[in-house]
Amino acid sequence: MTGTVYTETTIYSPPEAFAGEAPYQLAMIHLDSGTRLTARIHGDPVRIGDRVALAEVRNSIHYFRKANLEVSHQHDPPRDRDRL
Amino acid sequence: MRPVAVVGTGKTPFGAFPERDLRSLAVESVHKCLENSGLTADQAEAFYLGNFAGPSFVGQNHLAPYIATEAGIRDVPCTRIEAACASSGSAFFHAWAAVAAGIYDIVLVAGVEKMTSQSTARVAEILAGAGDMAGEMAAGATFPALFAMIAKRHMYEFGTTREQLAQVAVKNHHHGAMNPMAHMRKEITVEKALAGKMICDPLTVFDCSLVSDGAACVALAAVDRARDFRAKPVRVLGIAQTSGPVALDQKESITTFEAVRRAGEKAYKMAGVAAADIQFAELHDCFTIAEILATEDLGFVPKGQGGPYAASGATALGGARPVNASGGLKSKGHPVGATGVAQICDVVEQLRGEAGERQIAGARLGLAQNLGGSGATAVVTILGLE
């Protein structure tokens, strides 16, 4: 499963359930299938437009990792592309 | 549909009140509203209550009759409405609809939340319940995280800066410092806001609204009855409630709250006014980025221009269109279930010329915008003098 980072944030003030994991990066991924998914990021921090690939699914949470590909905006939805 | 007016307002101060319980706050706001309007409790034909999470915050359910009977309102329909942070905006909408439809002549609408008796982590957990618990919240999101992701995308698409976000907070603290009912009455600077503790990048603690206790109440009446009351009636000229997906990642765009845009359009149409006619507004600044989005979605400026607009001074008292002259959720405070009705109270006070040193000269037409979750409920109300 691959996609493009639509937006992201790093959480320094986590909910109680994830208190031991902060800071951690959360991203909204625009999947190549066309849908969006809110997921966690493993490894290097990502920025909007970065290509990412699914690394693992643990406790129902999707973890993505930066893909070793050049940055592309081709998977941004048309509405966003029109605005840029 | 017949015309409806606000004929009374009542508010408790907003703040952290460890010695006060939820019911006493709500009852105080109702009694102040009755006093302000010259109504007696037995004249209310229905009671609507906006409350987000009383059962979670204080363990009490069945809140509408629990509060109403203590306030002296008996035997009439008493109904609690929950729509996250738009709970009392939605309660106001439904109360307006019932009076406009001719079902009742006089109703009371209150909003209340008692939040500060819980730890910050528990408050965050309860608030998260207004989001998609099986989706983004399960992945580790919080409301600050969702609005941080909105801010990041807005910065990416339109070049909005952290300084512009900070200027929203500085302005609202400046206004709130002059409001005796506000939770946090102190000025801040852009430097201080930027250097604040990071909550979710790029939002610092100064980009986030406050966790508060408080209540607010308004009386609504059919306009042909409105002159029977003590206070100067203020007309509900336009109002709309709209909705959208609860999950942020299900929205086509996250830099527009489509529900707010639609509610604004419908309210403008009902009132027969344009965005340019609105002289001042109370907007739902749960986070600084939310005020920026609201100024765009309501058509005060084109999409993408909300950041420069906030920085221009146009939305400060003394500017062309003051936004959140009350201090907003940022400084006045955000007892979530009370916020929608409190915004109505603040707009009404301005229209009656009762806002003291925060008074906007010549105020005749104002707008209140109340948001639930990350845009799943929106209520826009346009109020004006007859």
What pLDDT, in 10s, does the model give residues B120-146? 888 988 999 999 999 999 999 999 999
Which runs of E-coded beta strand occur in chain A? 2-11, 24-31, 36-42, 51-58, 61-66
Burial of B356 (0-12, 13-18, 19+ CB in 10 A): exposed
Burial of A7 (0-12, 13-18, 19+ CB in 10 A): buried
Catalytic residue numbers of B read 85, 334
Statement: residue B59 has pLDDT above 50: yes
Query: What topology is assigned to B140-208+237-384 in CATH?
Result: Peroxisomal Thiolase; Chain A, domain 1 (3.40.47)
ipTM tops 0.90: yes
Sign, CA torsion B223/B218/B73/B52: positive
Phi-psi region of B49 (alpha: psi -120 to 50; beta: other; left: phi over 0): beta
Q: What is the pLDDT of residue B123?
A: 92
Instruction: Describe the crossing of helices B288-297 and B162-176 by its angle, rounded to 10 degrees.
Output: 100
**At B223, is the secondary structure helix, strand, or coil?**
helix
The arrangement of secondary structure in B4-119+211-234, i.e. its CATH architecture, is 3-Layer(aba) Sandwich (3.40)
In a domain, A36, yes or no: yes
Statement: residue A79 has pLDDT above 70: no
Interchain CB distance below 8 Å, B152 and A18? no
Name the band, by pLDDT with cuts 50, 70 and 90, for residue A84: very low
Distance from CA of B205 to the nearest CA of A (A): 10
Determine the average pLDDT of the residues in B349-363: 97
Nearest to A61 among B121, B138, B249 (CB): B138
Statement: residue B293 has pLDDT above 70: yes
Interchain CB distance below 8 Å, B140 and A18? yes
Q: Which residues neighbour B210 within 8 Å (Cβ) at sequence distance 6 or greater?
A: B14, B183, B184, B329, B330, B331, B333, B334
Give percent of chain B above pLDDT 90.
Answer: 96
Give percent of chain B above pLDDT 70.
Answer: 100
Statement: residue A80 has pLDDT above 50: no
Tens digits of residue pLDDT in A18-71: 989 999 999 999 999 999 999 999 999 999 999 999 999 999 999 999 997 655
Q: Which residues neighbour B283 within 8 Å (Cβ) at sequence distance 6 or greater?
A: B290, B291, B294, B295, B298, B323, B324, B328, B369
Report the domain count for chain A: 1
Nearest to A15 among B128, B148, B197 (CB): B128
Bridge partners of residue A31, in order along the sequence: A3
Domain boundaries, chain B: 4-119+211-234, 140-208+237-384
Given strand B234-243, what is the order of strands in its sheet?
B78-81, B47-50, B106-114, B213-222, B4-11, B234-243, B377-384, B365-372, B280-282
- To probe the interface with A, which of B249, B287, B293 has the most A CB atoms within 10 Å? B249
In a domain, A82, yes or no: no
Helix H, strand E, coil C: the string for B275-287 is HHHCCEEECCCCE
d(CA B229, CA B216): 19
Nearest to A48 among B145, B152, B198 (CB): B152
**Chain B positions in Cβ-Cβ contact with residue A27 (cut-off 8 Å):** 149
Backbone angles phi, psi at A37, to 5 degrees: -140, 135
d(CA A22, CA B199): 11
In a domain, A29, yes or no: yes
In a domain, A31, yes or no: yes
Q: Is B45 within 8 Å of B95 (Cβ atoms)? A: no
CATH of the domain at A63: 2.40.50.840
In a domain, A84, yes or no: no
Look up residue B17 and give its two tokens. 């009140």
d(CA B339, CA B326): 12
Q: What is the pLDDT of residue A71?
A: 52
Q: What is the pLDDT of residue A83?
A: 40
Tell me which residue range forms the domain holding A59. 2-75
Distance from CA of B265 to the nearest CA of A (A): 21
